Structure 1
């Protein structure tokens, strides 16, 4: 298939709706081709290589004051006709939809970033070469993880005459190394497979695993922390889902208060889909663009699709997505912009040399750790769950390495903690003590989603349980 074929399919479904439901029916159609490939490894060898190619057609129909949606992976004439008939039948049974926001009007759509063809159609051998480099770099430790590549090509059309096309490609690698029951992790997502360096990631994961062996247990309590990008990504994802979500904001279930300085002045957050290769339009055909969420600590905006935007008298910000009517529009490409200036990196690197070898894997983290009198260096969070959506109080566990920092030096590995913390409060005024200069893009589980963050130093983090309970 090509973009032209997908555009033709979308236009064909719009015409089928016109024939079946009449000229007054309003329809929007998204046709997406996806090529997804995954090379997975465990016990230091590749045990699975899978790939799938498919095309999906998503239709939303508003007719006689009622709205219904449907989807199909069949693109033959009979399959498209069945999709239209099925969605039309569902619309007849749907309740009235007085909040229907209408269709996206014809408007230009940005071209998006160029697609790297070598990534879009990478071979299993090319992914396996990065796995081999990762495994070689761990130097005998047990290694596991994956290397993936993806390509998406999409076309949108609606009965108002709007259309858009776009392409996107992504590569990602996520791997762990294990030493004596301790794990070290390294992750990276990029527009080009060539930018994934398996040897660099493997060496980083192995160094952290070796540094995390023989941990001590510390009592729960509030500690100053340095959070590495993998942990910061969890903060950004939960802020996006529960805070900068236009539906939750309209329902007064979000902490967000546009115009209020809710965060430390060091915090600037932007949802920036075109910073990376991605489809340049959303499910409703609205052009995607950078959306400042927080500027120098002040909350500026939340994400909207057409429905949530209409409810608060605003327009769509390009965040229409499948399931949006239930979950709301969610920023999926959040960046925490790095510091303009960082601490003296050479000082930090020198200090780390005296501590636990391998605990600090980059100059950014070294510089921030060097300023900590007593605190914790945290690699990663996992199994996080929201306890209080309004205040965004989250509980979860540390993972893949925690270290005690004393007088700027990581001195001992620490057993994992449970924490309970309000994410907005942890990033609140006066609480961010430093940001790194080099953000790392972290892959997400869903294709097209990612977070990009530097290492962050915070004045306080609430650890509520240790390894013993």
Structure 2
């Protein structure tokens, strides 16, 4: 795994090529095969009750094979790279290919094409030890200043290679780190989270201070009647919008099946909205599961929908080219953008820190101003006459995929804003809202100037967004209904 960057994936590429050759030997030259070999090293330090209670590390290998034989397509995977293990995998997939239903929509193999060199990655992150993660946990706990805390710090490293029987091959590697923590007091919770390419860029103390400050500011909430309110959504809440837009809107399979709201060429969003999927960040690989080279893809350009994501199958159905978005679940769920950025106002889409460092002399105060969390969000709040500041959304469920009407709950802090100031904490509310409508032309009043990258629960997946000030958000009841 460690090796020089130029050699990254050499062993994996040799294994992938061996599997392709084995398919040809066993099934003949008419068989089409593609193979991806991925080695993953992941480590997790988890804490609860302000104490580390689990430190785990895992190293695994995944060999994924897809074969097209006599008009039929079958796929399988294995975690053994011995000669016997690879032979068993190939025989199993070939056996399935001989009896499975015909596949008239087979798009063919990815042709040989140049692949961008693997993005710069951080060896210190890839090979970080438990002491380094524990130090960040300690900083988080100390900054929470006596509040009960829980969460995790994780690091990951992937090396992957691809080969197919059309002569195409690719290799690369990626590293990432993330932290997600919660602080609790008096029944109120505050959270802070961050995803980075370098472990050294995680600010454990800043995250802990922010989570604690938001928890203290969220105590003694009041009831508020449901209705439509102007809102400022913090980046964690905006990330839920991006995730659902990715799964249900810019998904090429859903678009081909006419189950997506996306309409390329139409100004479906406010002009402040530009969405770019960027798989070439250091935490991404330069090719997808089918070997198609990865590249940044603009999905919404200044409010106008410009593209959806495709793997080779959804692209072939529409007579277009794959955008390089095949992944392990695309055969079932469709190709989706998994590194989606909402570009901040007046800036390139460059991730900023998820929180400021601990203010000098900060103590466990209870100022409602601490609910805002950062100057960028504070600026949006200051220009809202009356509305709600929303920290986070959760338990979101899609009610209507075509219009992307979603219901869910607020959590980890909800506050009333009056005359540009946070005045009181509010009990969590249920909402029912169409995400595209909430971002429609004229609905986005202001976009923050700094983006925060937030982790997903899947390695290599993240969502990056600034805070947003929206004209309206539909709250339909309390948290209990």
Q: TM-score category by the smaller chain?
A: over 0.9
Q: Which residue of 2 aligns with 1:210?
A: 216
From 264, 280, 292, give the equivalent of 2:270. 264
Give structure 1 stretches of 5+ with no counterpart.
Answer: 342-352
CA offset digits 1:3-26 (Å, max 9, x no partner): 211110000000000001100100
The answer on 1:381 being equivalent to 2:387 is: no
Structure-to-structure mapping, 1:351-366, within 5 angstroms: 356-366=368-378
Cα offsets for 1:272-303 (capped at 9, x unmatched): 11134211100000000011000000000000
CA contact (8 A) 1:221 1:463 kept: yes
- 1:233 pairs with 2:239: yes
Task: Kindly report which structure 2 residues correspond to 1:300-311, keeping only aligned pairs within 5 A, or say none.
Answer: 300-311=306-317
Q: TM-score, normalised by structure 1?
A: 0.96
Structure 1 counterpart of 2:291, from 263, 267, 285: 285
The secondary structure found in structure 2 opposite 1:340 is: coil
2:134 is equivalent to residue 128 of structure 1: yes
Q: Give the match for residue 438 of structure 1.
A: 450
**Counterparts of 1:316-465 in structure 2 under 5 Å?**
316-340=322-346, 356-465=368-477
Counterpart CA distance in 1 for 2:283 and 2:402 is: 33
Question: Is residue 216–residue 366 contact of structure 2 (8 Å, CA) maintained in 1?
Answer: no
Please tell me whether the aligned partners of residues 355 and 410 of structure 1 are also in contact (alpha carbons under 8 angstroms): no
Cα deviation for residue 357 of structure 1 reads 3.1
* Distance across 1 between alignment mates of 2:305 and 2:68: 35
Equivalent in the alignment of 2:359:
none
- Give the superposition deviation at 1:355: 6.9
CA contact (8 A) 1:265 1:297 kept: yes
Over residues 191-243 of structure 1, what are the superposed CA-to-partner deviations in whole Å (9 max), with x where a residue is unaligned? 00000010010001010000000000101100000000000000000000000
Secondary structure (helix, strand or coil) at the match of 2:368 reads coil
Deviation of the 1:468 alpha carbon: 5.4
Write the distance in 2 (CA, Å) between the matches of 1:145 and 1:93. Answer: 47
Q: Do the aligned residues in 2 keep the contact of 1:355 with 1:411 (CA within 8 Å)?
A: no
Unaligned runs of 5+ in 2: 2-7, 348-364
Question: What's the offset of the Cα at 1:467?
Answer: 3.8
Give the match for residue 253 of structure 1: 259
Query: Do residues 10 (structure 1) and 33 (structure 2) align?
Result: no
Asked if the contact 1:41/1:48 (under 8 Å) is kept, the reply is: yes
SS of 1:357's equivalent?
helix
Q: For the aligned residues, what is the CA RMSD?
A: 1.2
Q: Deviations over 1:27-75 (max 9, x none)?
A: 0000000001000000000000111001110000000000000000000
* 1:445 CA drift (Å): 0.4
Contact map agreement 1:355 1:409 (CA 8 A) in 2:
no
Tell me what 1:80 maps to: 86
Give the deviation of 1:114 after TM superposition. 1.1
- Number of residue pairs the alignment of both structures matches: 458
Asked if the contact 1:217/1:467 (under 8 Å) is kept, the reply is no
**Is the 2:35–2:164 contact (alpha carbons within 8 Å) kept by the matching residues of 1?**
yes
CA distance in 1, matches of 2:475, 2:421: 21
